[in-house]
Amino acid sequence: MDFASAVKFLQTTTNESVSRRHPGRLDRMHELLALVGDPQREFKSIHVGGTSGKGSTATMAAAMLRSAGFKVGLHTKPHLRSVTERACIDGAPLSEERFAAIIEEMMPAVREMERGPHGAPSYFELLVALAFKLFAQERVDCAVVEVGIGGKLDGTNVLLPLVSVLTNVGTDHADVLGDTVEEIAADKSGIIKQGVPVVTAAEHPGALHVIEEAALRARAPLTRVQSAAKISSQARGAYEQRAEIGTERATYSFSMPLLGEFQVTNAATAIVALEQVSDLLPVSPTQVEHAMSSVVLPGRMEFYPSRPALLFDVAHNAEKAEALRGGLLRHFPDKRFTFVVAVAEGKAAREMLAAWSTLPAHFIFTSFDVAHRTATIPQRLALTAEAAGMSARAIEDPVEALTIARRMAGADELVVVTGSTFLVARLREWFARNVADGSHARA
């Protein structure tokens, strides 16, 4: 099996949206892993869930461990350019050849499951199993694993980690996880394991109460980031910010090429989590500083210094939209913005637009075309924005939308591509190939 065949096969499987509603899905995940040798039992892990920031926190924790000399696996989702990004060893995605080989290794298990009571594994479950097999084969010292959606029944929730992390709790995926923040927190708290330390940066009182109760029931020591760490930071223009994070154990001072105050909180969350496992995986302040000085988070307030400058940010829910707003005001206080936005159906589009409604900005709403997700009609988004007093228009084709946005924006203004991961991925790649002339982004 070659890479193209492996990807084509994955595209025929149950998509992530549907599989979340499939009964017995954790039983199905256990069956798949058992059939491929239970690789999740062969490596230490850190499990990272939450509504927003979990991918960034996981990536930072992995970078810190790697800086300390450990061999580190990293599983995150979604991917921007290639599905191979979902399973990394020491910061590098596995090769297309290795990806195809592992999918081929798992095919007998898939065929057996097709005949069984749980049915065939989903797209997400296969990618999780693939990552776990890679981590076991590579004998990683630790794997940092991002939760997909929710927690209790997520395909990654077969791990017995060294520490469980909940970055925060918001209202994304309410259609699947619950109608209230408390119900969503209960689902996300499902990753808490008996006696395993828990670290959370959640601040919503109702969510925090649910997490505290879940930790108490599991006799899992709970650490709140806001209590365990004193966090301060200072923006340094469009390219970086300086952070100082003090805990009882150490003070961590570093500059990082990431934008947004929320990323400092994510860094503190990663640090506090690693301090919980320092007896097994020690990381020094110097090693943290080295890791954070070069950490890369594509599509997370990723800045390209062109004229006009561009910023790509996957802000696909209300919490991330609010974080993007704060980051723009923090790092670009005197700029005007032209937004290019697409939002998937089922997302809280009205709340996302509300977060941006007071920015000095014009909005171009567009679409995306992928097999397993539907974009909200751009004209509907434009009407919603105009009703809120925002300057808006709709352009169906995303490349045309970006081209017009760049033409409209002044040389000293900022074009912001945001909303759906699918839009950010498409336009980020198009821009890099057709406009950026091979220059590297500075995030």
Assess contact for 43 and 73: CB atoms under 8 A: yes
Query: Do the bridges between strand 309-313 and strand 302-304 make them parallel or antiparallel, or are there none, so unpaired?
Result: antiparallel
Residue % of the chain over a pLDDT of 70: 94
Range from 340-344, 354-358, 432-436 carrying the lowest mean pLDDT: 432-436
Secondary structure class of 339 (helix, strand, coil): strand
Q: Tell me the pLDDT of the chain averaged across its residues.
A: 93
CATH topology of domain 3-292: UDP-N-acetylmuramoyl-L-alanine:D-glutamate ligase (3.40.1190)
From-to residues of CATH 3.90.190.20 in the chain: 302-434
Residue of higher predicted confidence among 279 and 23? 279
Specify the CATH number of the domain 302-434.
3.90.190.20
The whole-angstrom separation of Cα 92 and Cα 438 is 20
* Residue pair 24/119 in contact by the 8 Å Cβ criterion: no
pLDDT tens digits, one per residue of 196-220: 999 999 999 999 999 999 999 999 9
Range(s) of the chain covered by CATH 3.40.1190.10: 3-292
Peptide bond before 78: cis, by omega within 30 degrees of 0? yes
pTM, 2 dp: 0.91
Answer whether residue 173 shows pLDDT above 50. Answer: no
Contact 48, 57 (CB under 8 A): yes
Quick check: 227 pLDDT over 80?
yes
Q: How confident is the model at residue 123 (pLDDT cuts 50, 70, 90)?
A: very high
